[in-house]
Amino acid sequence: MKKAAARGTETLPVEIDVMIEAGDWPAQAELEGLARNAVAAALAETGDTAPDGTELSLVFADDTQIRTLNAQWRDKDKPTNVLSFPAFPFARGAPLPPLLGDIILAAETVAREAELEAKPLDHHITHLVIHGFLHLLGYDHETDAEAEEMEAVERRALARLAIPDPYA
């Protein structure tokens, strides 16, 4: 298990544990960099501040693993691109807990979506990490208004990273 927070020249208060459990993913160092940039951009856009030592787990899995989790926790027996599991109940805008939770991505679904949408895989991974991270910060997309708000934050965070609007 490697900590992405120790890399780079910019201080990020969130320690990101990046684990590749299954699937065909880019190299761990690349995933750590993508995760670090995604989390920093999301925090910059939400205005949330994380105390030093805040922890986040990011798991790169395959469709089989995420399908199992999706069935177990959401009663949806199919793979999905990303799942987020907050470590604690958390109200948006409240101080961040020291342990944010887990974000899990599924290799085959993520690769297939990137190809269908003709976007670079690293852009799609970054988008999904931001999306999953926002869920851990209390954002959701159950209603149209919530979805618009969440997507607006995603767009701004991605723009910070020079990644085109995925919803355009």
Residue 5 confidence (pLDDT) above 80: no
More confident residue, 49 or 83: 83
Mean pLDDT for the stretch of residues 6-26: 83
pLDDT digits 0-9 by tens, 56-68: 999 999 999 999 9
Q: How far apart are CA 24 and CA 2, in angstroms?
A: 18
Contacting residues for 138 by C-beta, under 8 A, at least 6 apart:
90, 91, 92, 93, 94
